[in-house]
Amino acid sequence: MTTTTRLFLVRHALVEPSARLTMYGTMDVGLCELALRQEAAAYRWLAARLPQPARWLVTPLSRTRATAAAIFAAGYPETPLETHPELIEQALGEWQGLPHDTFFQRLRDKPHPFWSISVEERPPGGESFADVIARVGPAVDRLVEENAGGDVVIVAHGGSIRAALAHAMGVPGLAVLTFSIKNLSLTRLEKVGPDWRVAAVNEEPFTLPV
């Protein structure tokens, strides 16, 4: 019998307005309080959509833990949260926290149309997107090994979710940066025996029955 292990990756909720004016990367910024109230239907959808029981993981950044707490408050049974640093967002090093215009002036390479930086460019003291894939891939493999035949919910970031997609698909970073990964969207990866299957990318509550 073939064993299937399922990963449910949720991108954290929208961050506070002041943080959105900067390239916040791995800065620990809070969620937008107005969006938390306005997105009640999205949290209810996630609470109903995510599997029970499941192992729940967050990153060291509080926006992922706060997003998980909001899903629990919307009806999903509260579950212990494990923190996994390997699933954190791309670190922007010395360029982190810069206003958008200043950040783009520092770039040496042309950024990707749907990401703020090219795949290979590494900010001083930070990571390239290729580095993120190299970090996230082994972490995802370990989770599959530890949870064979089970379900894992991961509340993470746009960069780390795309990195998990790149790993599962066996493609370079340039290919997966074309995927839209919106706040509170759900991406589903399945490991079926030795093979990866992408079950869904960027599921959103307003495009599916609630």
- What pLDDT score does 205 carry? 84
Which residues are within 8 A (CB) of 83 and not within 5 positions of it... i.e. 6 or more apart? 57, 58, 59, 60, 65
**Would you say 108 and 121 are in contact if contact means Cβ atoms under 8 Å apart?**
yes
* Bridge-based pairing state of the strands 55-58 and 4-11: unpaired
Which position has the token pair 């290979």?
A: 120
**Would you say 157 and 187 are in contact if contact means Cβ atoms under 8 Å apart?**
no
| Residue segments in the chain with a per-residue pLDDT below the cut of 70 | 206-210
CA 14 to chain centre: 12
The whole-angstrom separation of Cα 152 and Cα 156 is 12
**Would you say 144 and 57 are in contact if contact means Cβ atoms under 8 Å apart?**
no
How many helices (H) and strands (E) are present in the chain, helices listed first? 7, 6
Pick the CATH number of 4-207 from 3.40.50.1240, 3.20.20.70, 3.50.50.60, 3.40.50.880: 3.40.50.1240
Three-state secondary structure call for residue 165: helix
